[in-house]
Amino acid sequence: MNAASGKVMKDSGKKSFKLMIVDDSNIMRRRIERSNQLDELELVGTASNGLEAIEMFKKMDPDVVTMDLTMPQMDGIECISKLVVMKPAVRILVISALADKATAVEAMEKGANGFLNKPFTDRQLNEAIADLMR
């Protein structure tokens, strides 16, 4: 573990980022997991709402989070605010159907680093995650 960067080292010695997927849809969580073609990303946890995400975040300390916005119990905007307090260096990609600019701006102001609208192609997802990690 490289404590300074929050990255973990795989057996191969290749640097890896820990990924957490947050979405209330099982289909979307599996879709994001399947679509991820970046070798550097290792899935460490999934959550179906903001509350679960915070618990998972505490346990797994991910570096990269994909975050839905419209979720029961705690929505994505509130969850983003809490995650960035816990780990300011976390990189958060919002993946949401909400397509108005004001919502994207609010998410970025709360601490998100990127915004991808649903529906999306595999290519769009991989480009968005790659952008996030640059």
Interacting residues toward another protein by CB under 8 A: 24-28, 30-31, 34, 70-72, 96-100, 102-103, 117-121
Compare residues 5 and 25 and give the one whose CB is closer to another protein: 25
Compare residues 15 and 30 and give the one whose CB is closer to another protein: 30
For the bound state, the minimum distance from the C-beta of residue 123 to another protein, rounded and expressed in Å, comes to 11
CA angle 123, 126, 131 (to 5 degrees): 120
For the bound state, the minimum distance from the C-beta of residue 108 to another protein, rounded and expressed in Å, comes to 14
Query: What Å distances lie between residue 94 and 1, 9, 15, 50, CA to CA?
Result: 27, 26, 24, 13
Compare residues 8 and 43 and give the one whose CB is closer to another protein: 43
For the bound state, the minimum distance from the C-beta of residue 96 to another protein, rounded and expressed in Å, comes to 7
Instruction: Quote the tokens at residue 82.
Output: 């809490």
| Helix/strand/coil percentages in the chain, nearest 5 | 40, 25, 35
Compare residues 31 and 91 and give the one whose CB is closer to another protein: 31
Strand bridging mode 64-67 / 8-9: unpaired
For the bound state, the minimum distance from the C-beta of residue 26 to another protein, rounded and expressed in Å, comes to 5
Measured CA to CA, the distance from residue 1 to residue 102 in angstroms comes to 38
Residue type, 112: A
